[in-house]
Amino acid sequence: MPYTITPGDPISALDTPSMLVDLDLMETNITSLMTQLLPTGISIRPHSKTTKSAILAQKLISAGAKGACVAKLSEAEVMCAKGVTDLLITCEIIGAAKVKRLVELWKEFRDVKVVVDSEVGARAIDEAVQESGVGERMKVLLDLDVGLHRTGCQPGDAALALARTVAECQNLELIGVQGYEGHLQHVHGVEERKKACLESMKILVETAEALRRDGHAIRVVTTGGTGTAEFCVTVPGVTEVQPGSFLFMDTDYRNAVGTKYSNSLTILSTVISKQGPKSVTIDAGLKSLTTDSGLAECKTAGYEYGVLGDEHGSLSWTDGADLKVGDRVEMIPSHIDPTINLHDFYYAHRKGVIEAIWPVDARGKVQ
């Protein structure tokens, strides 16, 4: 008898580890973000690098989002195939194989937009579009370093020079600037995060203005994540924000941003062994929960998680109720995006009854 789960089943019917979504909490997160940000008139382009799910991207569009961001070309391919086609790919497309694939995708889906931060990158895409013979220009945003020092050209002369290069490319249309302040998303304290964010936004909007003065029709100024979107939208000149993690949150974000959004995703695990009077082993290790941003937390307070390898974790306690073999626990991930990428399905439930099963469509799509 194969293992099947269908909507209407209780979560107790799930095998473990399984990725659970509390729909009431997730929907509240969406409503909170949309009610705060939509009235500003700024576009919301949620980042699908978090969910890797076309169904969830579509849900966010239904709630008011303008398309989606994806990190990678291979995620864009998945999203387009599933009908989410107004996309911004936020990582640079570099290398012959990727450029070829990009143009193949764009031939079919013209709403796919890309960022560039180098002349080499821009010219390669320009040539490939030329060779495609489509006769239209691909929409491109200049990626600007606003302090993260990850990608992006430097503001000032470098940005102007690159914009001129892109403008020279007959097959590219420079429509905007992306400046993602990822280094500020987890700054603790609202005032500290706001202050640093506004400094980054100054670099971004001033660069956009400088490019306009130089004759470029900059229409899109896109930035922001879960930790900063509320500040970005107050800055005249910003047109779009890209939050992703707000949908599910994680312990790292909760520690920095607080409880403005709820932890709506957990990894359901089973106690498989007792290892002492106040310690058990669960079936969730490194292959179920990532550790780059600290250790996951048990949703029930009082139990401390430890990694016991690829497949195992420990839970220990001092005065919590004893856990025994067969008990189930829900673990809150410490970093949501790479944790989701470890799982095949979301099991979305309301008050313990499964309502939907969503595939992690772009799982493993890192190219």
Q: Between the CA of residue 344 and those of 104, 108, 341, what are the distances in Å?
A: 27, 28, 8
Q: Which is nearer to Mn ion, 222 or 281 (CB)?
A: 222
265: left (phi over 0), alpha (psi -120 to 50) or beta: beta
Smallest distance from ligand PLP to CB 187, Å: 12
Q: Which of 145, 337, 354, 360 binds Mn ion (CB under 5 A)?
A: 337
Q: Report the sign of the C-alpha dihedral through residues 165, 170, 176, 182, in that order.
A: negative
DSSP 214: T
355 touches 348 (CB < 8 A): yes
Among 48, 51, 74, 90, the residue binding ligand PLP under the rule CB under 6 A is: 90
Give the integer Cα–Cα distance in Å for 236 and 148: 21
Residue 269 partner contact from ligand PLP, Mn ion, none using kind-dependent CB cut-offs of 5 to 8 Å: none
Distance in Å, CB of 148 to ligand PLP, minimum:
9
- Sign of the alpha-carbon dihedral angle for 271, 261, 200, 242: positive
HSE at residue 94, side-chain half, CA atoms within 13 A, is 10
Q: Least distance in Å: CB of 357 to Mn ion? A: 24
Q: Give me the helices (H) in the chain, please.
A: 23-37, 54-62, 73-81, 96-108, 119-132, 157-168, 190-213, 229-232, 251-257, 336-340
Task: List the single partner that 180 binds among ligand PLP, Mn ion, none, CB under 5 to 8 Å by kind.
Answer: ligand PLP
Q: How far is the CB of 137 from ligand PLP (least distance, A)?
A: 23
As measured in angstroms, the least distance from the Cβ of 314 to Mn ion is 25
Size of the residue set binding ligand PLP (CB under 6 A): 14
Nearer to ligand PLP, 47 or 113 (CB): 47
**Number of residues in contact with Mn ion, rule: CB under 5 A?**
1
Is residue 43 a contact point for ligand PLP (CB under 6 A)? no
Residues 334, 291 contacting (CB under 8 angstroms): yes
The residues, any chain, with a CB within 8 Å of residue 367's CB and separated by 6 or more, are: 72, 73, 74, 98
29 in contact with ligand PLP (CB under 6 A): no
Stretch that binds ligand PLP, among 44-52, 166-174, 309-317, 326-334 (CB under 6 A): 44-52
E strand spans, 248-327: 265-274, 279-282, 297-298, 304-307, 313-316
Q: Which two tokens stand for residue 202?
A: 């100054």
Closer residue to Mn ion, CB minimum distance, 126 or 337: 337
242: contact with ligand PLP by CB under 6 A? yes
Does 245 help bind ligand PLP (rule: CB under 6 A)? yes
Stretch that binds ligand PLP, among 93-101, 177-185, 230-238, 265-273 (CB under 6 A): 177-185
Minimum distance, C-beta of residue 186 to ligand PLP, in the bound complex (Å): 8
Assess whether the previous peptide bond of 17 is cis (omega < 30° from 0).
yes
Q: Which residue is nearest to ligand PLP (CB)?
A: 225
- The residues binding Mn ion (CB under 5 A) are 337
- The residues binding ligand PLP (CB under 6 A) are 47, 49-50, 69, 90, 180, 182, 185, 225-226, 242-245
